[in-house]
Structure 1
Amino acid sequence: MSILNRCLVSLCRNQSRFRPVGVMKMTSSSKVTARKLEGKVAVVTGSTDGIGLAIAKRLAEDGAHVVVSSRRQENVDRAVKTLTSENLDVPGTICHIGNAEERKNLLATITNNDELHNLGLSLTPMKRFGEPHECAGAASFLCSDDASFITGETIVVAGGMDSRL
Protein backbone atom coordinates (compact mmCIF):
# COMPACT_ATOMS: atom_id res chain seq x y z
CA MET A 1 0.00 0.00 0.00
CA SER A 2 1.49 3.33 -0.98
CA ILE A 3 2.02 6.18 1.47
CA LEU A 4 -0.82 8.10 -0.18
CA ASN A 5 -3.20 5.18 0.25
CA ARG A 6 -2.15 4.75 3.88
CA CYS A 7 -2.86 8.44 4.47
CA LEU A 8 -6.27 8.15 2.82
CA VAL A 9 -7.13 5.12 4.93
CA SER A 10 -6.01 6.99 8.04
CA LEU A 11 -8.12 10.02 7.11
CA CYS A 12 -11.09 7.83 6.29
CA ARG A 13 -10.92 6.01 9.64
CA ASN A 14 -10.05 8.85 11.96
CA GLN A 15 -11.73 11.90 10.48
CA SER A 16 -15.39 11.23 9.75
CA ARG A 17 -15.69 14.60 8.02
CA PHE A 18 -13.09 13.41 5.47
CA ARG A 19 -14.91 10.12 4.80
CA PRO A 20 -14.99 9.75 1.00
CA VAL A 21 -18.32 9.57 -0.80
CA GLY A 22 -19.38 5.98 -1.27
CA VAL A 23 -17.89 4.53 1.93
CA MET A 24 -20.77 2.78 3.65
CA LYS A 25 -20.99 3.35 7.36
CA MET A 26 -21.80 0.18 9.27
CA THR A 27 -21.61 -0.35 12.99
CA SER A 28 -20.74 -3.70 14.52
CA SER A 29 -24.20 -3.78 16.08
CA SER A 30 -25.81 -3.54 12.63
CA LYS A 31 -27.27 -6.71 11.21
CA VAL A 32 -25.13 -7.81 8.32
CA THR A 33 -27.16 -8.61 5.24
CA ALA A 34 -24.27 -9.62 3.00
CA ARG A 35 -22.94 -13.08 3.76
CA LYS A 36 -19.40 -12.19 2.79
CA LEU A 37 -17.92 -15.28 4.48
CA GLU A 38 -20.20 -17.81 2.75
CA GLY A 39 -18.23 -20.99 2.03
CA LYS A 40 -15.48 -20.22 4.56
CA VAL A 41 -14.59 -22.27 7.64
CA ALA A 42 -13.67 -20.56 10.92
CA VAL A 43 -12.30 -22.43 13.92
CA VAL A 44 -12.44 -20.09 16.88
CA THR A 45 -10.57 -21.32 19.95
CA GLY A 46 -11.52 -20.01 23.39
CA SER A 47 -14.83 -19.01 21.86
CA THR A 48 -17.38 -19.78 24.54
CA ASP A 49 -17.44 -16.42 26.30
CA GLY A 50 -16.50 -12.77 25.92
CA ILE A 51 -14.53 -11.68 22.86
CA GLY A 52 -14.16 -15.23 21.51
CA LEU A 53 -17.93 -15.81 21.57
CA ALA A 54 -18.56 -12.41 19.97
CA ILE A 55 -16.10 -13.32 17.19
CA ALA A 56 -17.75 -16.71 16.62
CA LYS A 57 -21.19 -15.06 16.48
CA ARG A 58 -20.10 -12.37 14.01
CA LEU A 59 -18.33 -14.86 11.73
CA ALA A 60 -21.45 -17.07 11.70
CA GLU A 61 -23.68 -14.06 10.97
CA ASP A 62 -21.36 -13.21 8.09
CA GLY A 63 -21.95 -16.69 6.64
CA ALA A 64 -18.91 -18.69 7.79
CA HIS A 65 -19.21 -22.27 9.00
CA VAL A 66 -17.97 -21.76 12.56
CA VAL A 67 -16.70 -24.34 15.05
CA VAL A 68 -16.45 -23.16 18.66
CA SER A 69 -14.18 -24.72 21.24
CA SER A 70 -13.18 -24.47 24.87
CA ARG A 71 -11.42 -26.55 27.52
CA ARG A 72 -14.69 -27.52 29.20
CA GLN A 73 -17.65 -29.32 27.64
CA GLU A 74 -20.18 -27.34 29.69
CA ASN A 75 -18.78 -24.09 28.24
CA VAL A 76 -19.00 -25.51 24.72
CA ASP A 77 -22.60 -26.65 25.32
CA ARG A 78 -23.58 -23.20 26.67
CA ALA A 79 -22.01 -21.39 23.70
CA VAL A 80 -23.61 -23.72 21.14
CA LYS A 81 -26.99 -23.26 22.86
CA THR A 82 -26.56 -19.46 22.86
CA LEU A 83 -25.65 -19.34 19.16
CA THR A 84 -28.35 -21.86 18.20
CA SER A 85 -30.96 -19.71 19.97
CA GLU A 86 -29.96 -16.94 17.55
CA ASN A 87 -30.59 -19.24 14.54
CA LEU A 88 -26.87 -19.84 13.96
CA ASP A 89 -25.86 -23.43 13.19
CA VAL A 90 -22.56 -23.73 15.06
CA PRO A 91 -21.07 -27.04 16.26
CA GLY A 92 -18.62 -27.15 19.15
CA THR A 93 -15.97 -29.38 20.66
CA ILE A 94 -13.65 -29.36 23.65
CA CYS A 95 -10.08 -28.36 22.94
CA HIS A 96 -7.31 -27.19 25.22
CA ILE A 97 -5.14 -25.49 22.62
CA GLY A 98 -2.01 -26.34 24.63
CA ASN A 99 -2.72 -30.07 24.30
CA ALA A 100 -1.47 -31.60 21.02
CA GLU A 101 -3.96 -34.48 21.13
CA GLU A 102 -6.92 -32.15 21.63
CA ARG A 103 -5.72 -29.94 18.74
CA LYS A 104 -5.71 -33.05 16.52
CA ASN A 105 -9.24 -33.86 17.68
CA LEU A 106 -10.34 -30.30 16.86
CA LEU A 107 -9.04 -30.64 13.29
CA ALA A 108 -10.61 -34.11 13.08
CA THR A 109 -13.97 -32.54 13.99
CA ILE A 110 -13.64 -30.40 10.89
CA THR A 111 -12.34 -33.06 8.53
CA ASN A 112 -14.88 -35.67 9.72
CA ASN A 113 -17.76 -33.29 9.11
CA ASP A 114 -18.49 -33.78 5.40
CA GLU A 115 -20.01 -30.32 4.98
CA LEU A 116 -16.99 -28.59 6.53
CA HIS A 117 -14.48 -30.92 4.87
CA ASN A 118 -15.90 -30.21 1.41
CA LEU A 119 -15.33 -26.49 1.95
CA GLY A 120 -11.62 -27.13 2.30
CA LEU A 121 -9.18 -26.13 4.98
CA SER A 122 -5.95 -24.46 3.97
CA LEU A 123 -3.21 -24.02 6.53
CA THR A 124 -0.41 -23.20 4.09
CA PRO A 125 0.80 -19.93 2.59
CA MET A 126 -0.65 -19.08 -0.82
CA LYS A 127 2.83 -18.75 -2.42
CA ARG A 128 1.89 -16.02 -4.85
CA PHE A 129 1.75 -12.26 -5.04
CA GLY A 130 -1.52 -10.69 -4.01
CA GLU A 131 -3.86 -8.99 -6.41
CA PRO A 132 -4.74 -5.33 -5.87
CA HIS A 133 -8.38 -6.15 -5.01
CA GLU A 134 -7.16 -8.47 -2.23
CA CYS A 135 -5.28 -5.59 -0.60
CA ALA A 136 -8.24 -3.25 -1.13
CA GLY A 137 -10.41 -5.42 1.13
CA ALA A 138 -8.11 -4.76 4.08
CA ALA A 139 -8.19 -1.02 3.39
CA SER A 140 -11.99 -1.08 3.19
CA PHE A 141 -12.16 -2.93 6.50
CA LEU A 142 -9.86 -0.38 8.15
CA CYS A 143 -12.12 2.43 6.90
CA SER A 144 -15.22 0.78 8.34
CA ASP A 145 -16.60 1.10 11.82
CA ASP A 146 -15.81 -2.60 12.26
CA ALA A 147 -12.19 -1.46 12.74
CA SER A 148 -13.08 1.21 15.31
CA PHE A 149 -10.89 -0.35 18.00
CA ILE A 150 -7.83 -0.78 15.79
CA THR A 151 -5.34 2.06 16.18
CA GLY A 152 -1.64 2.25 15.41
CA GLU A 153 -1.34 -1.33 14.15
CA THR A 154 0.41 -2.88 11.18
CA ILE A 155 -1.95 -5.08 9.20
CA VAL A 156 0.02 -7.50 7.02
CA VAL A 157 -1.78 -8.56 3.84
CA ALA A 158 0.64 -11.22 2.58
CA GLY A 159 -1.29 -14.43 1.89
CA GLY A 160 0.36 -16.25 4.78
CA MET A 161 3.88 -15.50 3.58
CA ASP A 162 6.49 -14.24 6.02
CA SER A 163 6.70 -10.47 5.98
CA ARG A 164 9.73 -8.37 6.69
CA LEU A 165 8.52 -5.02 7.94
Structure 2
Amino acid sequence: MSGFAGPITRLAGKIAIVTASTDGIGFAIAQRLAREGAKVIVSSRKQNNVDEAVSRLKSEGLDVTGLMCHVSKADHRKKLFDTAKKLGGLDILVSNAAVNPSVAPVLDCDESSWDKIFEVNVKAAFLLAQEALPLLRERPFGRIIFVASIAGFHPFELLGAYSVSKTALFGLTKAAASQLARENITVNCIAPGIIQTKFSSALTETEAAREEALSRIPMNRLGVPHDISGAAAYLASEDASYMTGETLIVAGGMPSRL
Protein backbone atom coordinates (compact mmCIF):
# COMPACT_ATOMS: atom_id res chain seq x y z
CA MET A 1 0.00 0.00 0.00
CA SER A 2 1.75 3.15 -1.20
CA GLY A 3 -0.79 5.67 0.04
CA PHE A 4 -0.33 7.61 -3.20
CA ALA A 5 -3.27 8.13 -5.55
CA GLY A 6 -1.51 9.27 -8.69
CA PRO A 7 0.20 12.22 -10.32
CA ILE A 8 -0.07 15.43 -8.31
CA THR A 9 2.37 18.18 -9.23
CA ARG A 10 1.67 20.79 -6.56
CA LEU A 11 5.35 20.80 -5.50
CA ALA A 12 6.79 21.17 -9.01
CA GLY A 13 9.78 23.51 -8.96
CA LYS A 14 10.22 23.27 -5.20
CA ILE A 15 13.43 22.11 -3.47
CA ALA A 16 13.19 20.16 -0.22
CA ILE A 17 15.51 18.82 2.45
CA VAL A 18 14.29 15.85 4.51
CA THR A 19 16.55 14.72 7.34
CA ALA A 20 16.74 11.08 8.45
CA SER A 21 15.09 10.13 5.18
CA THR A 22 16.58 6.80 4.12
CA ASP A 23 14.06 4.64 6.00
CA GLY A 24 10.67 4.71 7.66
CA ILE A 25 8.72 7.96 7.93
CA GLY A 26 11.53 10.11 6.53
CA PHE A 27 11.88 7.96 3.40
CA ALA A 28 8.12 8.00 2.83
CA ILE A 29 8.05 11.80 3.13
CA ALA A 30 10.99 12.23 0.74
CA GLN A 31 9.34 9.86 -1.73
CA ARG A 32 5.99 11.66 -1.55
CA LEU A 33 7.48 15.15 -1.95
CA ALA A 34 9.47 13.96 -4.95
CA ARG A 35 6.42 12.24 -6.46
CA GLU A 36 4.61 15.57 -6.22
CA GLY A 37 7.35 17.24 -8.23
CA ALA A 38 9.91 18.51 -5.72
CA LYS A 39 13.65 18.09 -5.99
CA VAL A 40 14.49 16.32 -2.72
CA ILE A 41 17.73 16.05 -0.77
CA VAL A 42 17.69 12.87 1.31
CA SER A 43 20.11 12.29 4.15
CA SER A 44 21.00 10.07 7.08
CA ARG A 45 23.99 9.21 9.22
CA LYS A 46 25.23 6.27 7.11
CA GLN A 47 26.43 6.68 3.54
CA ASN A 48 25.39 3.18 2.46
CA ASN A 49 21.81 3.90 3.61
CA VAL A 50 21.86 7.15 1.62
CA ASP A 51 23.09 5.33 -1.48
CA GLU A 52 20.38 2.66 -1.18
CA ALA A 53 17.60 5.22 -0.68
CA VAL A 54 18.74 7.39 -3.59
CA SER A 55 18.91 4.31 -5.82
CA ARG A 56 15.36 3.27 -4.87
CA LEU A 57 13.97 6.74 -5.48
CA LYS A 58 15.82 7.29 -8.74
CA SER A 59 14.53 3.93 -9.99
CA GLU A 60 11.09 5.58 -9.83
CA GLY A 61 12.37 8.44 -11.96
CA LEU A 62 12.33 10.87 -9.03
CA ASP A 63 14.62 13.91 -8.78
CA VAL A 64 16.65 13.21 -5.65
CA THR A 65 20.11 13.93 -4.30
CA GLY A 66 21.57 12.28 -1.22
CA LEU A 67 24.30 12.92 1.29
CA MET A 68 25.43 11.72 4.67
CA CYS A 69 24.34 14.07 7.45
CA HIS A 70 24.53 13.78 11.22
CA VAL A 71 22.21 16.63 12.18
CA SER A 72 24.13 17.41 15.37
CA LYS A 73 27.28 18.25 13.38
CA ALA A 74 27.50 21.82 12.09
CA ASP A 75 29.66 20.93 9.08
CA HIS A 76 27.20 18.21 8.04
CA ARG A 77 24.27 20.63 8.23
CA LYS A 78 26.26 23.16 6.18
CA LYS A 79 26.74 20.58 3.44
CA LEU A 80 22.98 20.04 3.33
CA PHE A 81 22.32 23.71 2.71
CA ASP A 82 25.26 24.08 0.32
CA THR A 83 23.75 21.23 -1.71
CA ALA A 84 20.38 22.99 -1.73
CA LYS A 85 22.07 26.18 -2.97
CA LYS A 86 23.63 24.25 -5.86
CA LEU A 87 20.19 22.93 -6.79
CA GLY A 88 18.80 26.47 -6.79
CA GLY A 89 17.71 27.23 -3.23
CA LEU A 90 15.37 25.83 -0.61
CA ASP A 91 11.60 25.91 -0.22
CA ILE A 92 10.86 23.10 2.23
CA LEU A 93 12.69 21.83 5.31
CA VAL A 94 11.42 18.64 6.96
CA SER A 95 13.21 18.00 10.26
CA ASN A 96 12.66 14.31 10.97
CA ALA A 97 15.84 13.09 12.71
CA ALA A 98 15.41 11.72 16.22
CA VAL A 99 17.12 9.38 18.65
CA ASN A 100 16.02 7.47 21.71
CA PRO A 101 18.87 5.87 23.66
CA SER A 102 16.78 5.56 26.85
CA VAL A 103 13.95 3.06 27.26
CA ALA A 104 12.84 4.13 30.72
CA PRO A 105 10.39 6.34 32.62
CA VAL A 106 11.36 9.99 32.39
CA LEU A 107 12.95 10.37 35.83
CA ASP A 108 14.97 7.19 35.34
CA CYS A 109 16.74 8.64 32.28
CA ASP A 110 20.46 9.15 32.86
CA GLU A 111 21.97 12.53 32.15
CA SER A 112 24.00 11.52 29.09
CA SER A 113 20.92 9.97 27.42
CA TRP A 114 18.86 13.07 28.24
CA ASP A 115 21.53 15.29 26.69
CA LYS A 116 21.74 13.17 23.53
CA ILE A 117 17.96 13.10 23.10
CA PHE A 118 17.68 16.87 23.42
CA GLU A 119 20.77 17.51 21.31
CA VAL A 120 19.33 15.63 18.33
CA ASN A 121 15.57 15.86 18.76
CA VAL A 122 15.31 19.51 19.81
CA LYS A 123 18.58 21.46 19.43
CA ALA A 124 19.39 20.10 15.96
CA ALA A 125 15.82 20.78 14.82
CA PHE A 126 16.17 24.37 16.04
CA LEU A 127 19.56 24.81 14.34
CA LEU A 128 18.33 23.34 11.06
CA ALA A 129 15.43 25.78 11.02
CA GLN A 130 17.69 28.70 11.93
CA GLU A 131 20.26 27.79 9.27
CA ALA A 132 17.58 27.23 6.62
CA LEU A 133 16.14 30.72 7.02
CA PRO A 134 18.49 32.65 4.69
CA LEU A 135 17.58 30.28 1.85
CA LEU A 136 13.86 30.14 2.67
CA ARG A 137 13.68 33.93 2.73
CA GLU A 138 14.84 34.07 -0.88
CA ARG A 139 11.86 32.05 -2.10
CA PRO A 140 8.21 33.06 -2.74
CA PHE A 141 7.18 30.94 0.23
CA GLY A 142 8.94 28.76 2.76
CA ARG A 143 7.89 25.70 4.72
CA ILE A 144 9.41 24.32 7.93
CA ILE A 145 7.93 21.02 9.11
CA PHE A 146 8.96 19.32 12.34
CA VAL A 147 8.17 15.65 12.89
CA ALA A 148 7.24 15.10 16.54
CA SER A 149 5.11 12.30 18.05
CA ILE A 150 1.79 11.58 19.69
CA ALA A 151 3.99 10.85 22.73
CA GLY A 152 4.55 14.60 23.00
CA PHE A 153 0.89 14.91 24.05
CA HIS A 154 0.56 11.69 26.05
CA PRO A 155 4.00 10.43 27.10
CA PHE A 156 4.76 6.74 26.65
CA GLU A 157 5.99 5.46 29.98
CA LEU A 158 9.11 3.74 28.62
CA LEU A 159 9.90 6.63 26.25
CA GLY A 160 9.91 9.29 28.95
CA ALA A 161 12.67 11.66 27.89
CA TYR A 162 11.91 11.12 24.20
CA SER A 163 8.29 12.11 24.86
CA VAL A 164 9.38 15.34 26.57
CA SER A 165 11.65 16.19 23.64
CA LYS A 166 8.68 15.88 21.30
CA THR A 167 6.58 18.14 23.52
CA ALA A 168 9.38 20.70 23.15
CA LEU A 169 8.95 20.58 19.36
CA PHE A 170 5.34 21.70 19.73
CA GLY A 171 6.59 24.78 21.57
CA LEU A 172 9.32 25.42 19.00
CA THR A 173 6.69 25.17 16.24
CA LYS A 174 4.46 27.77 17.92
CA ALA A 175 7.28 30.21 18.67
CA ALA A 176 8.94 30.00 15.26
CA ALA A 177 5.60 30.22 13.44
CA SER A 178 4.77 33.43 15.27
CA GLN A 179 8.17 34.92 14.41
CA LEU A 180 7.98 34.07 10.70
CA ALA A 181 4.26 34.52 10.01
CA ARG A 182 4.66 37.82 8.17
CA GLU A 183 7.46 36.49 5.97
CA ASN A 184 5.31 33.93 4.14
CA ILE A 185 7.22 31.14 5.87
CA THR A 186 5.00 28.68 7.70
CA VAL A 187 6.12 26.43 10.53
CA ASN A 188 4.04 23.37 11.30
CA CYS A 189 4.46 20.01 12.99
CA ILE A 190 3.28 16.45 12.46
CA ALA A 191 2.61 14.17 15.43
CA PRO A 192 2.57 10.58 14.18
CA GLY A 193 1.01 7.87 16.25
CA ILE A 194 2.51 4.39 16.47
CA ILE A 195 3.92 3.79 13.00
CA GLN A 196 5.42 0.48 11.88
CA THR A 197 9.12 1.32 11.48
CA LYS A 198 12.43 0.04 12.84
CA PHE A 199 12.46 3.04 15.16
CA SER A 200 9.16 2.02 16.82
CA SER A 201 9.93 -1.69 16.98
CA ALA A 202 10.30 -1.61 20.79
CA LEU A 203 6.59 -0.79 20.98
CA THR A 204 5.51 -3.65 18.70
CA GLU A 205 8.21 -6.34 18.74
CA THR A 206 6.29 -8.84 20.89
CA GLU A 207 2.69 -9.95 20.51
CA ALA A 208 1.89 -8.55 23.97
CA ALA A 209 3.46 -5.20 23.10
CA ARG A 210 1.58 -5.09 19.82
CA GLU A 211 -1.74 -5.85 21.52
CA GLU A 212 -1.04 -3.16 24.12
CA ALA A 213 -0.29 -0.66 21.33
CA LEU A 214 -3.42 -1.57 19.37
CA SER A 215 -5.56 -1.22 22.51
CA ARG A 216 -4.68 2.49 22.53
CA ILE A 217 -5.64 3.07 18.89
CA PRO A 218 -9.35 3.48 18.12
CA MET A 219 -8.78 2.52 14.46
CA ASN A 220 -7.24 -0.75 15.72
CA ARG A 221 -4.29 -0.73 13.34
CA LEU A 222 -0.75 0.51 13.45
CA GLY A 223 0.15 3.31 11.08
CA VAL A 224 2.47 2.92 8.11
CA PRO A 225 4.99 5.52 6.94
CA HIS A 226 2.84 6.64 4.01
CA ASP A 227 0.11 7.63 6.48
CA ILE A 228 2.48 10.44 7.46
CA SER A 229 3.83 11.35 4.03
CA GLY A 230 0.53 12.72 2.76
CA ALA A 231 0.29 15.05 5.76
CA ALA A 232 3.83 16.30 5.08
CA ALA A 233 3.07 16.91 1.39
CA TYR A 234 -0.02 18.90 2.35
CA LEU A 235 1.90 21.08 4.81
CA ALA A 236 4.62 21.62 2.19
CA SER A 237 2.17 22.78 -0.45
CA GLU A 238 0.22 25.94 -1.27
CA ASP A 239 -2.86 24.11 0.04
CA ALA A 240 -1.60 24.81 3.57
CA SER A 241 -0.64 28.45 2.92
CA TYR A 242 -2.96 29.79 5.66
CA MET A 243 -1.88 27.27 8.28
CA THR A 244 1.03 27.93 10.63
CA GLY A 245 1.94 27.09 14.20
CA GLU A 246 -0.18 23.95 14.13
CA THR A 247 0.41 20.27 14.80
CA LEU A 248 -1.28 17.74 12.53
CA ILE A 249 -1.99 14.59 14.50
CA VAL A 250 -1.93 11.40 12.42
CA ALA A 251 -2.49 8.70 14.99
CA GLY A 252 -5.55 6.59 14.24
CA GLY A 253 -7.66 8.46 16.79
CA MET A 254 -5.33 8.25 19.77
CA PRO A 255 -5.94 10.94 22.43
CA SER A 256 -4.00 14.03 21.52
CA ARG A 257 -4.41 16.96 23.84
CA LEU A 258 -2.05 18.18 26.50
**Shorter-chain TM-score: which interval?**
0.5 to 0.7
The count of residues paired between Structure 1 and Structure 2 equals 117
TM-aligned CA distance change 1:83 to 1:28, over 3 Å: closer
Secondary structure of the residue that 1:66 maps to in structure 2? Answer: strand
Say whether 1:137 aligns with 2:192: no
Cα offset for 1:105? 1.1
- Could you tell me how far apart the structure 2 residues matched to 1:42 and 1:92 are? 12
Gaps of 5+ in 2: 92-133, 143-179, 186-237, 244-248
Cα offset for 1:85? 1.0
- Contact kept in structure 2, 1:42 and 1:67, CA below 8 Å: yes
- Could you tell me how far apart the structure 2 residues matched to 1:71 and 1:99 are? 10
Residue number in structure 2 paired with 1:101: 75
- Contact kept in structure 1, 2:21 and 2:42, CA below 8 Å: yes
Residue number in structure 2 paired with 1:127: 182
TM-score by length of 2: 0.38
- Could you tell me how far apart the structure 2 residues matched to 1:96 and 1:108 are? 15
Say whether 1:36 aligns with 2:91: no
Gaps of 5+ in 1: 1-26, 131-135, 142-146, 155-165
Secondary structure of the residue that 1:127 maps to in structure 2? Answer: helix
- Contact kept in structure 1, 2:31 and 2:57, CA below 8 Å: yes
- Contact kept in structure 1, 2:38 and 2:63, CA below 8 Å: no
- Contact kept in structure 1, 2:16 and 2:90, CA below 8 Å: no
- Could you tell me how far apart the structure 1 residues matched to 2:31 and 2:251 are? 18
- Contact kept in structure 2, 1:45 and 1:68, CA below 8 Å: yes
Cα offset for 1:148? 5.7
Say whether 1:71 aligns with 2:85: no
Secondary structure of the residue that 2:51 maps to in structure 1? Answer: helix
Question: How far does the alpha carbon of each residue in 1:11-60 deviate from its partner, in whole angstroms, 9 at most, with x for none?
Answer: xxxxxxxxxxxxxxxx9623332201112111000000111101100010
Q: Equivalent pairs: percent with the same residue?
A: 42
Aligned counterpart in structure 1 of residue 36 of structure 2, from 58, 62, 81: 62
Question: How far does the alpha carbon of each residue in 1:48-95 deviate from its partner, in whole angstroms, 9 at most, with x for none?
Answer: 011110110001001111100011111110000010111112110111
- Contact kept in structure 2, 1:32 and 1:62, CA below 8 Å: no
Residue number in structure 2 paired with 1:15: none
- Could you tell me how far apart the structure 2 residues matched to 1:97 and 1:28 are? 28
- Contact kept in structure 2, 1:46 and 1:52, CA below 8 Å: yes
Say whether 1:110 aligns with 2:84: yes
Which structure dedicates a bigger proportion of its chain to strand?
2
TM-score by length of 1: 0.57
Structure 1 stretches of 4+ moved >4 Å? 150-154
- C-alpha RMSD of the superposition: 3.7
| Structure (1 or 2) with the larger CA radius of gyration | 1
